[in-house]
Amino acid sequence: MGSSRAPGGGRIDRGRPRRFRFDGTELEGFAGDTLASALLANGVDVVSTSPILGRPRGVLTTGPEEPAAIVEVTAPTVDVVAPATMLELVDGLEARPRAGTGRLPPASTPARRGEHRYAHCDVLVVGAGAAGLAAADAARRDAARVMLVEQHPWLGGSTVASASSEAAAAADATAERLAADDGIAILSRATALGVYDAGFVVVHERARPAERLWHVRAGRVVLATGASERPIPFADNDRPGVMLASAAATYVRRFGVRPGARAVVFTTNDSGFESAYVLAASGVDVAAIVDVRRGGRGRQLPPPSGAELLPGWTVTETRGDPRLRAVAVAGGASDRVIEADLLAVSGGWDPVVNLHRMIGGGLRYDDATACFVPDGSGPAWLDVVGRAAGAGLAPSAPYWYVPAEDLSRHFVDLQRDATVADIVEALGHGFRSVEHVKRSTYIGTALDQGRTSGAIAAEVVNDALGWQRGAQGPTSARPPFAPVPYSVIAGSARGRLFDPVRTTPIHAWHTASGAVFEAVGQWLRPRYFPRGDEDMEAAVRRECLAVRRDVGVMDASTLGKIEVVGPDAPAFLDRMYTNAMSTLGVGRVRYGLLCGLDGMVVDDGVAMRLAPDRYLVTTTTGGAAAVLDRFEEWLQTEWPELRVYCTSVTEQWSTVAVAGPRARDVLVALATDVDPSPAAFPFMHVRDGVVAGIPARIARISFSGELAFELNVSAWQGLALWEAALAAGAPLGIAPYGTEAMHVLRAEKGYPIVGQDTDGTVTPFDLGMGRIVNEAKGDFIGRRSLRRPDAARADRRHLVALLPLDPRARLPEGAQVASEPSGDPPVRMIGHVTSSYDSPVLERAFALGLIERGRDLIGRTVFARLDGGAVPVTVADPVLYDPEARRRDG
């Protein structure tokens, strides 16, 4: 391992050394190096072992297309798989060869930090090579806002590796001018991951300390993504020391590294000669140029002095241990072996068209350059320029691999260890499409997405099938263009910031009281309030019994609340709900169901009539936004003539539900100017009054079957009312209860929860709520569908209760139900369990379920089929507790 750093040259900063470790060895490079160039400079031949065959691999390229030098980074930030060609050398960098297909870091590994940025510009240029710099420069002359993104830390692209120094000098001059221009934003170390509709481009910027995901909306997008050199498969073409010719020239020019002492160049086109000049000029002994082209066909350039030209010859094999020592060539009368430690290969060039194709741009096969180039199609706002468009590519012989008897060491995709023989085998299985061959061989499915292998694979397939060149092109391109960490995609939307958390005005009390919360949509609701060392079962049991025997209090502020106001509000609600709301008297409350046009239940709630032209309707906690949207949709699109305004007031009101036989006593103790007696304040009525000195809207509605008052007050007063209710109710044994007890209490009464006991396939009749479907009032959403033959089927599933014969056998929610206890699969299921609890008052486990012809099966035994066997259950009417509703008046 000797140093191969040239004494001078390159664009590294020799005054700023960088210390790093590779595979445990302390090494040194310079600022401006990549890990790949620093390893080459230190004479490290083997950078990685191949994932499946364990073959030693070196460095093939200088960019994200790298399929060989794949490493695992352990410091300063962890990266499980990364191409060494894209890792900027920093002090303290630690890496090692990737193990197999890679290994996950421990869960304790800190994620790479990411943040999202948003930008708008007139022109976005992707790629800062000669074409990209020129495009950005031209756009600035139109005084436009320009963004230029470049995946490498430097600008200039491949100009640095040109044989003549003019291209690099011109690029440097343009880059310098643009860097001083305030009207252009230049992002380096930034990869455009995908191009989407209407000029939307997502860019991953590898910035520090946090990486950035840019969402850019551009009026025009210019793709100047350049071209990528193709390797050529021959026997042992994956040996360390085999490198793309342009990469070899780039290591010389950019990094001041001689990637070998004695080189053979193997080429199909004149660009291989250009790279040979660069190598020769840096002191590399170029022994021979092996050119597959015979005679002078297409060839314009002479070999560098001292190099032998072998026209019409090919490289058949490499030898070494493991680094390249000799190249076997064939072509003349006899085969030859040429000693060399560098084999620079150019199989032609492929425009980098991934982004162009993602947004629908098409390709055409170009015979002269033997590659696919953009065909001019694609969105009007997109331009492809420079070598990405096929401009300035060297004409190339159409040459895809070196023929041989044994093709099993002709590597096509180095990251997948896939060879020409693997493609031939896939064709033998009958595959014809390159998309199928890709999925059979895995060629093009690794990190580089087939950047160096896709075009070769396609032409090997075309050739083997006897189809013309270009009959099938490369496989589909999809975002992301290069790997991006999930942590960067997540950005700051992690943990507590993943989704907004909504809490009620009483939340602080719940937290202080040790409530256990559950998420209901974005809301955080108390699930139960454990006392002492109670577990959930004990707490829920105690809370349920408090409501059934004394009194409980629940924070119901999360219920969706919509004010529906206007002279046509009654008619509008009649069209939305299955029952009539126009006939509701002022001061009255009515339960209602909302159906979709298909007649299926989508939400429920109550409507309170506050005035002739004013209703307050409630929705499920999770359905509030959808119900408001539904109201708006019908008002705006079908009935704009209706004079109705809908306003969400969910967060303006705080709702405290007081439920239980002693609820009236609590109300009296709170001091109210409303007469709470059953005669003065009947069930399903609403009154405005004052409670505990707070203006309140009081509704007598019950979700537990017990006497209950719902106290609605201004959100600002919610906590005060809650604390007052607890204080006033203390002598009466009041207990706060959470959503779990609420669920048990409502299920004992057979009240369904929309979204739990329904799933979008359930009609009001299926729920046993035909009584609130009012056909006489006129049309309403879903009415016609309820008369479709399917809705009238006799074998529909009905909501019923399910009582396990063993009263302790609580069924899992979701359990499937069959009519027989056993039988060979497939067993026909007649329904499933939707809700399941232990009932303290019934002193047994019970469930609700949707069962085929369920109401006709009441009293019969069916079977919940579980992994452990069948649990016999009796079908029952869903109202298990107080079916005569004697308790609701207290």
CB 256 within 8 A of CB 334: no
CB of residue 625 vs another protein: minimum separation in angstroms?
9
**SS3 of the chain: helix, strand, coil, percent, to 5:** 25, 30, 45
Question: Which residues fall within 8 angstroms of residue 553, CB to CB, at 6 or more apart?
Answer: 656, 657, 658, 659, 666, 722, 725, 726, 729, 734, 735, 736, 737
Distance CA 129, CA 252 (A): 18
Closer residue to another protein in complex, CB, 343/363: 363
Among the listed residues 379, 480, 521, 768, the single contact to another protein using CB under 8 A: 379
CB of residue 562 vs another protein: minimum separation in angstroms?
13
DSSP 8-state code for residue 702: -
**Contact call for residue 254 and another protein (CB under 8 A):** no
CB of residue 373 vs another protein: minimum separation in angstroms?
22
Question: Which residues fall within 8 angstroms of residue 59, CB to CB, at 6 or more apart?
Answer: 36, 39, 40, 47, 66, 68, 69, 84, 85, 240, 243, 247, 259
- How far, CA to CA in Å, does 561 sit from each of 601, 620, 636, 678, 740? 19, 9, 20, 26, 22
Distance CA 258, CA 272 (A): 17
Specify the length of the chain in residues.
890
Q: Which stretch binds another protein (CB under 8 A): 140-148, 399-407, 605-613, 785-793?
A: 785-793
Q: Which stretch binds another protein (CB under 8 A): 150-158, 235-243, 626-634, 848-856?
A: 626-634
Distance CA 844, CA 807 (A): 5
Among the listed residues 1, 637, 776, 808, the single contact to another protein using CB under 8 A: 637
CB of residue 490 vs another protein: minimum separation in angstroms?
17
Q: Which stretch binds another protein (CB under 8 A): 252-260, 421-429, 742-750, 787-795?
A: 787-795
CB 814 within 8 A of CB 836: no
Give which of 748, 283, 718 is closest to 545, Cα–Cα: 748
**Contact call for residue 783 and another protein (CB under 8 A):** yes
The number of C-alpha atoms within 13 Å of 749 and in the hemisphere containing its C-beta is: 20
CB of residue 203 vs another protein: minimum separation in angstroms?
13
CB of residue 197 vs another protein: minimum separation in angstroms?
5
**Contact call for residue 360 and another protein (CB under 8 A):** yes
Q: Which stretch binds another protein (CB under 8 A): 304-312, 555-563, 601-609, 784-792?
A: 784-792
Among the listed residues 598, 813, 838, 856, the single contact to another protein using CB under 8 A: 598
Among the listed residues 629, 673, 675, 688, the single contact to another protein using CB under 8 A: 629
CB 638 within 8 A of CB 659: no
The number of C-alpha atoms within 13 Å of 252 and in the hemisphere containing its C-beta is: 28
Closer residue to another protein in complex, CB, 265/635: 635
**Contact call for residue 591 and another protein (CB under 8 A):** no
**Contact call for residue 789 and another protein (CB under 8 A):** yes
CB 37 within 8 A of CB 254: yes
Closer residue to another protein in complex, CB, 335/779: 779
3-state DSSP assignment of residue 584: coil
3-state DSSP assignment of residue 19: strand
Closer residue to another protein in complex, CB, 112/217: 217
CB of residue 560 vs another protein: minimum separation in angstroms?
16
Among the listed residues 208, 364, 531, 788, the single contact to another protein using CB under 8 A: 788
CB of residue 200 vs another protein: minimum separation in angstroms?
4
Q: Which stretch binds another protein (CB under 8 A): 160-168, 625-633, 661-669, 802-810?
A: 625-633
Closer residue to another protein in complex, CB, 746/783: 783
Sign for the CA dihedral angle at 258, 263, 268, 269 comes to positive
**Contact call for residue 597 and another protein (CB under 8 A):** yes
Window 166 to 225, contacts with another protein (CB under 8 A): 196-200, 217
Q: How many angstroms separate the most distant Cα atoms in the chain?
A: 116
Closer residue to another protein in complex, CB, 258/630: 630
Distance CA 309, CA 877 (A): 94
The CA angle 841-846-852, to the nearest 5 degrees, is 145
DSSP 8-state code for residue 164: S
**Contact call for residue 334 and another protein (CB under 8 A):** no
Q: Which stretch binds another protein (CB under 8 A): 273-281, 528-536, 560-568, 628-636?
A: 628-636
Question: Which residues fall within 8 angstroms of residue 90, CB to CB, at 6 or more apart?
Answer: 18, 20, 76
Closer residue to another protein in complex, CB, 360/403: 360
**Contact call for residue 633 and another protein (CB under 8 A):** yes
How many CB atoms neighbour CB 626 within 10 A?
15
How many residues belong to the site for another protein (CB under 8 A)? 24
Give which of 266, 232, 229, 267 is closest to 246, Cα–Cα: 229
CB 257 within 8 A of CB 4: yes
Please name the amino acid found at residue 231: P
Closer residue to another protein in complex, CB, 199/840: 199
Closer residue to another protein in complex, CB, 792/866: 792
Closer residue to another protein in complex, CB, 103/787: 787
At how many degrees (to 10) do helices 245-255 and 271-281 cross? 40
Q: Where are the alpha helices (DSSP H) in 360-402?
A: none
CB of residue 217 vs another protein: minimum separation in angstroms?
7
Among the listed residues 49, 440, 785, 819, the single contact to another protein using CB under 8 A: 785
Among the listed residues 367, 406, 435, 632, the single contact to another protein using CB under 8 A: 632
Closer residue to another protein in complex, CB, 180/380: 380
CB of residue 715 vs another protein: minimum separation in angstroms?
22
Closer residue to another protein in complex, CB, 193/663: 193
Window 217 to 246, contacts with another protein (CB under 8 A): 217
CB of residue 115 vs another protein: minimum separation in angstroms?
18
Closer residue to another protein in complex, CB, 215/436: 215
Residue with tokens 């106001």: 565
Window 762 to 781, contacts with another protein (CB under 8 A): 779
Give the per-residue contact string, 725-764, with another protein (x = CB under 8 A; - = no). ----------------------------------------
Enclosing H/E stretch for 435: helix 434-441
Please name the amino acid found at residue 386: G
**Contact call for residue 499 and another protein (CB under 8 A):** no
- How far, CA to CA in Å, does 738 sit from each of 6, 330, 519, 683, 723? 74, 83, 12, 23, 16
Beta bridge partners of 19: 28
Where along the sequence are the contacts to another protein (CB under 8 A)?
A: 196-200, 217, 360, 379, 597-598, 629, 632-633, 636-638, 640, 779, 783-785, 787-789
